[in-house]
Amino acid sequence: MTNTKDTGQLPAGHVSNDFRGQDILSVSQFDRAKLDYIFNVGQEMQVLVERFGSADLLQGKILANLFYEPSTRTSSSFMAAMLRLGGQVIPINNVQYSSVTKGESLPDTIRTLESYADVIVLRHPELGAAAIAAHYAKKPIINAGDGVGEHPTQALLDLFTINQDLGQLDGLKIAMVGDLKYGRTVHSLTKLLINYGVEFVFVNPDILPMPEDVLDVVRGTGHTFHQTKNVHEIIGEVDVLYVTRVQKERFTDLEQYDRVKDDYVVDEALMSHAKQKMIVMHPLPRINEISYAIDDDPRAAYFRQMRNGMYIRMALLAAVLGKG
């Protein structure tokens, strides 16, 4: 599925870059050594942007940014990442204006774009779409969210943020709150966190539990997890409170959505019971899950998370294009 692909005549990159020419489809491709590599390059990218704004590392390279679902942060941070590294972007955010509307298949769209670009970032509503695209493409495919499946680049930036803010990953107690059934970010984050000695707490309405296949991964590595409906029960003991939006677009019965959409609201009252050293995260967009009143609380990490997305995506683009 993730065979080495032809990226042209690039000079060899950093010795420990295992990503050259590879697809990024799932977090299961990452172990601690690979995570360390991406986080180190991510940190270098942060320094680069803060000092110089941009560089010419990917000059002459082209990214096709292909989004079949709405996106603000993922799409614009990939675009900014490519531009800050001196590359160019073909942005296809409105597939309704492309030949997709004429009935073109995903493989044909991918084959078209890879004849113009060096790497393709793909967001698609169907689980497994990125893997299908990768099967047909010779150039690297980066999964930017495949339906209710995975969102690996979000999980990488989430982990990077936890490590930066709390200075460690091992030993942390991490709660994920809200729509754990349809939220692809928590699927990927959970599967990435099993590389570390963490304890999981899953807080969700009855109808939105973490899928069994994700729980099986957690069980398989011997990690402890606890499931509850009550966020008040656990707020005082967690190091990370990762809040998610109830994914309205995945519901077939909107009455069910209305019943659970406001089950969890992180506000000042709830935060008064949280530890002093902890962080609140959210992949964004938020609807009502986090009160604007806590945005200035130093524990609110979601805007830092969003900025880190660009550094991590710079690191990934440099890595797959052989320049990491």
Cα–Cα dist 110/50, whole Å: 34
The token pair that represents 41 in the structure block: 């390059």
51 given a catalytic annotation:
no
124 given a catalytic annotation:
no
On the 0-12 / 13-18 / 19+ scale of CB atoms within 10 A, 18 is: middle
The token pair that represents 136 in the structure block: 């047909």
Q: Are 277 and 166 in contact (CB under 8 A)?
A: yes
102 given a catalytic annotation:
yes
Question: According to CB under 6 A, which one of 5, 184, 191, 323 is a site residue for ligand ASP?
Answer: 184
Beta strands (DSSP E) in the chain are: 62-67, 88-92, 119-124, 141-146, 173-177, 199-203, 225-228, 240-243, 279-281
Note whether 185 binds ligand ASP by CB under 6 A: yes
Per rule CB under 6 A, count of chain residues that contact ligand ASP:
6
Please name the amino acid found at residue 82: M
What is the nearest approach in angstroms of ligand ASP to the Cβ of residue 68?
12
What is the nearest approach in angstroms of ligand ASP to the Cβ of residue 244?
6
What is the nearest approach in angstroms of ligand ASP to the Cβ of residue 47?
26
Indicate the residue among 58 and 281 with the shorter CB distance to ligand ASP.
281
Question: According to CB under 6 A, which one of 283, 309, 322, 324 is a site residue for ligand ASP?
Answer: 283
112 given a catalytic annotation:
no
Q: Are 202 and 227 in contact (CB under 8 A)?
A: yes
Note whether 84 binds ligand ASP by CB under 6 A: no
Indicate the residue among 23 and 289 with the shorter CB distance to ligand ASP.
289
Alpha helices in 53-176 (DSSP H): 73-84, 106-114, 129-136, 152-166
Question: According to CB under 6 A, which one of 87, 145, 149, 178 is a site residue for ligand ASP?
Answer: 145
Residues in Cβ contact with 113 at an 8 Å cutoff, skipping those fewer than 6 apart: 64, 66, 90, 92, 120
What is the nearest approach in angstroms of ligand ASP to the Cβ of residue 186?
9
Q: Are 208 and 178 in contact (CB under 8 A)?
A: yes
What is the nearest approach in angstroms of ligand ASP to the Cβ of residue 189?
11
What residues numbered 235-264 form the site for ligand ASP, per CB under 6 A? 245
What residues numbered 2-61 form the site for ligand ASP, per CB under 6 A? none
Cα–Cα dist 148/181, whole Å: 8
What is the nearest approach in angstroms of ligand ASP to the Cβ of residue 80?
16
Q: Which of 151, 181, 184, 245 is catalytic?
A: 151
What is the nearest approach in angstroms of ligand ASP to the Cβ of residue 184?
5
Indicate the residue among 142 and 321 with the shorter CB distance to ligand ASP.
142
Cα–Cα dist 188/210, whole Å: 11
Cα–Cα dist 324/214, whole Å: 31
Q: Which of 14, 34, 73, 223 is catalytic?
A: 73
Indicate the residue among 284 and 294 with the shorter CB distance to ligand ASP.
284
Note whether 124 binds ligand ASP by CB under 6 A: no
Indicate the residue among 7 and 77 with the shorter CB distance to ligand ASP.
77
Please name the amino acid found at residue 194: I
Spatial CA neighbour of 81 closest among 107, 116, 46, 112: 46
Indicate the residue among 151 and 313 with the shorter CB distance to ligand ASP.
151
Indicate the residue among 74 and 163 with the shorter CB distance to ligand ASP.
74
109 given a catalytic annotation:
no
* Active centre residues (catalytic): 73-74, 102, 123, 151
Provide the binding-site residues for ligand ASP, judged by CB under 6 A.
145, 151, 184-185, 245, 283
